[in-house]
Amino acid sequence: MRRFIRNSISILLAAVLLFGFFPAANKSSAEDICSEILSGMTTEEKICQMLVVSFGYYSDGSGSQILSDPVKNALNKYCFGGIILFAQNTAENADTVRYIDAVQSENASGGYSRMQLLVCVDQEGGTITRLGHGTQTPGNMALGAIEDINAAYTAGSIIGSELAALGISVDFAPDVDINSNPSNPVIGVRSFSDSASNVSDRGIKYMSGLMSAGTIAALKHFPGHGDTSTDSHTGLPLVNSSYDQLKQRELIPFQRCIDAGAEMVMTAHIQFPQIENTTYISKSTGEKVYLPATLSKKIISDILRGDMGFDGVVITDGMMMDALGKHFDIYDTAKLAINAGVDLLLMPVASYGSNGIKLLENYISRLVTMAENGDISMEKVDAAVTRILRLKQRHGLTMPYDGSNLQSRIEEAENLVGSAAHHAQEWELAKSAVTLIKNEDCTLPLNRSNEKTIILTSDDSENLSMQYAVDLLRNDGKTPNGTAIEIYSYKDRSLDYLRGKIRGADNVIVVSEVRSASALRGSTARMIDSLIDSVHENGNRFVLLSANLPYDAARFQKADAIILAYSSKGMNEDPRVNEGASLQYGPNLPAAVYCIFSVDDSPKGKLPVQIPVLSSDHHFTDQILYERCFSLSYSQQPCFTPTPEPTPNVNDEPEPLETQSAEPQSTEIISAVPIVSVAPEESREPFTPSPTEKSGNAANETSGFSPLIIILIAGCLTLVTVTTLVLLKRKR
C-alpha cells in the first residue's frame, strides 16, 4: 500500500509538471510561428498584410460574381491582410460562399505558404446589415431595451454563426458608442443606449456571442462617436471633451470589452483637440485641422494600448471617408496612422476596376519606399504585422486555405443563413424590445370588437411588414370579431387624401420614422400633428408607432398611446412564402404591431435612453420627459398618464476608468446630457464573463479552473481516499 501511495504521488507530480509546462510551451510555440513567418516576409509583404481592401463587384452576366483579371493578378501578387465585403457581394448565400472561396483560392495561389485573408463585413444587425438573406436581428438600441442582457448574446451568436457559415471571419461589430448626444447624426439606434453600463453589458454579451461562433469582433468607433454633431462619412467631427471626461463615459464600454477579451478595435475619424492638438493643413480648405483619433499616437498608442492595455489588432474606419479624404493626403494618412500604432488600414484607396488596381499598386509601392527610408517606422510595421499574425494564428488563418468540400459548405450556408430557427429567435427578441411609454385611457391593446383601424406607414416598403403582422394576429386568433384593419402609406400623399382614408376609423396608427433631430421639425412631423388633431376631432384614438429614434415620443405627446420599435426596416417579400430562404427583413415593425393588438403580448421593453422635453420650436431642452428605464405594460391598471419610475442609485454605475498621468488632466465635469431633472443611470450588477464567454479570448485565457488546478484537486482527493481506506483496513 505504501508503494501504491508513493506511485500515486509520483504520477501526480509528473502530471503537475506536464500540464504546468504545456500552456507555456503552446504559447511559446504560437509566438515562434508568428516570429518565423515575420522573419521571412519582405517589406512589401508586411505592408500588404496591413491592408484591408475592397474589389467592388463584377458579374458574369448571369448574376454570379467573378474575379476580374486585374483582381486575380493583384491577389496573386500581393499578400493582403484582408478584404471587406458589401451588400452587393453578399446578396445570395451560395454566391457569397463561392466568391469568398474564389478570393481565398486566388490568394493561396500566390504562394504555397500564403496565409489566408481576413474576410470582413459590417453586420451590426438592425439598420446596418449586409447579408442579403441573413437574419437581421432587431438592432442595438432594441437590444438595449430588453431587460435580459443575454438577448445581446443571442443576437451576436446568430450573426456570428451565419457569417462563419459563409466564410466571413471578421464582423465590424459591436458598436459600443454611447448615444450620449441625441442630436448626433450617425450613431442613433446603432447604439445600445445612452448609458455606459447598458452599452458595456450588452457590448460584452454581443461580442461573446460573435466569438462563440469563431467570428472576430471589432469594437467601434474608438474612442467614441456618440457625442458628435457631424457624420464622419461626410465631414470631420470634433468633440471638445478632455481625457478625464472620456474616462467618465465614452471609454468605459471599450475598457470593459477589452477586459473581457476583445481582439480588434476600430478607430474613429474624430478630432479631440483637448487630447491631440497636433494640426495639419487641410488639402481642401487650407485651414488647420487637428489630427483625428485614427492618426493620433496619443490616442492609439498612449491611451488605447498604454493606459487601457489593449494589445490586439487596431483597424481604421474607412480611409476614404470624407473625414480623412477631404483633408489629408492618402500617403500622409498611412504614415500617421501606422506611426500612431494602427495595424490595419481599411480601404485606403478605391481599388475598383483596372484603374483602381493600378492606384493600389502605386500606393503599395510608395508605402514600401516610405517604410524603407524611415518615414514609416519599421518597428511599428513589425509590431503591427506581429499582432495581425497572432490574430490569424489564433483563428487558423496562418495555415494555407483548404478549398475542399465547396458544395457541402454552400449547402450548410443555405440551410443556416436566414434559417427559420434563427428568424424565430429574432421574432422573440423583437417582441421583447417593444416599449410602451404612453397609454392614456387604456388605448392599447386594440382588442375591442367591431372596430376599424387604419395603419399609415412612412413608406410603401413598410406595408408588407404591417400585413405580415396582421396576418399573424389573425392566424393566432388575436384579433377580436369584426376587426377591420387597412394599411396605407402616407409618403407623397396630401393631408386631404390621408384625412379621407382615416375618416370613420376608430383607431389610427401612424408610423413615425425619425432618423435625425432635424426630422422633429420637418414637414412630416407637422403632417402627423394635423392627423392627431383630425383623429381627436372625430372622437377616436391615435397611436404613434415610433419606428426609429425614440425621441419623437416627445414631439407627439398629443397621441393617446406611444409605442417604440427602434427600427423601420421593412420587407421585400413575405417570409412565409419561402420560409427559411427569404430575403432579410426587419422584425421590429411587425413585432410592434403584433403587441399593439395582442392582449397576451404586453410590451416588455424599457427605455434605453432618456427622452428630453422639446422646446416650442422642437429642439431638445435640458429637461427630461421620460427617464431611462421607464416603461408601461397592459397589466398596469388603471391606465394613467405616466410619470417616471424611480431610477436606481447612480452609485451602481461602473466605476470610471482610473485617471492616468500620461496626459494633462481637466477638472471639468460632464454629464451625459445637460439636464435639469437629472436621472442617474440604471443599476447594473458588475458583469463577470462566464468561462464560456472568456474562452474566445486568446489574450486573456485565465477563465475558470486551469487543468493544473483540476489535476491537483483530483490528485489530493485520490490520496485522501486511499489513505482513508488504508486506515480503515488497519482498524479492522
Q: Would you name the residues annotated as active-site residues?
A: 233, 317
**Neighbouring residues of 389: CB distance < 8 A, sequence distance ≥ 6:** 33, 34, 37, 38, 49, 115, 398
Nearest by Cα to 241 from 596, 644, 669: 669
C-alpha cell at 317: 474606419
390: cell is 497572432
Distance between CA atoms of 672 and 195, rounded to whole angstroms? 8
Cell digits for 432? 421583447
- Say how far apart CA 208 and CA 377 lie, in whole Å: 34
Residues 247 and 280 sit within 8 Å (Cβ to Cβ): no
Q: Which of 342, 341, 336, 235 is nearest to 295 (CA)?
A: 336
Instruction: Name the residue among 297, 284, 352, 351 with its Cα closest to residue 324.
Output: 284
What type of residue sits at position 200? S
Give the integer Cα–Cα distance in Å for 483 and 462. Answer: 21
Instruction: Report residue 310 as a C-alpha cell.
Output: 489593449
Q: How far apart are CA 153 and CA 176, in angstroms?
A: 14
Question: Between the CA of residue 666 and those of 302, 487, 501, what are the distances in Å?
Answer: 17, 55, 58
Name the grid cell of 611.
427622452
* Cα 698 to the center of its chain, rounded Å: 21
Q: Could you tell me what percentage of the chain is helix, strand and coil, using 3-state DSSP and rounding each to the nearest 5?
A: 45, 10, 45
Cell numbers given for 309: 492595455
Residues 6+ apart with CB under 8 A from 451: 480, 482, 483, 484, 506, 507
The residues pairing with 216 across neighbouring beta strands, listed in sequence order, are 170
CB 548 within 8 A of CB 568: yes
DSSP 8-state class, residue 649: P
DSSP H or E segment with residue 345: strand 345-346
Crossing angle for the helix pair 196-212 and 150-166, nearest 10 degrees? 40
| Torsion sign over Cα 367, 372, 374, 379 | positive
Q: What is the CA radius of gyration of the chain?
A: 28
DSSP string, 374-389: TSS-HHHHHHHHHHHH
CA–CA dist 453, 540 (Å, integer) = 10
SS3 503: coil
Residue 384 Rama label (left phi>0; alpha psi -120 to 50; beta): alpha
Q: List helix spans (H) across 307-377.
A: 322-325, 330-340, 353-372
Smallest CA-to-CA distance from 406 within 709, 104, 21, 149 is with 104
In 472-631, the DSSP E strands lie at: 484-489, 507-512, 541-546, 561-564, 611-614, 620-626
Find where cell 509528473 sits: 14
Amino acid identity at 580: G
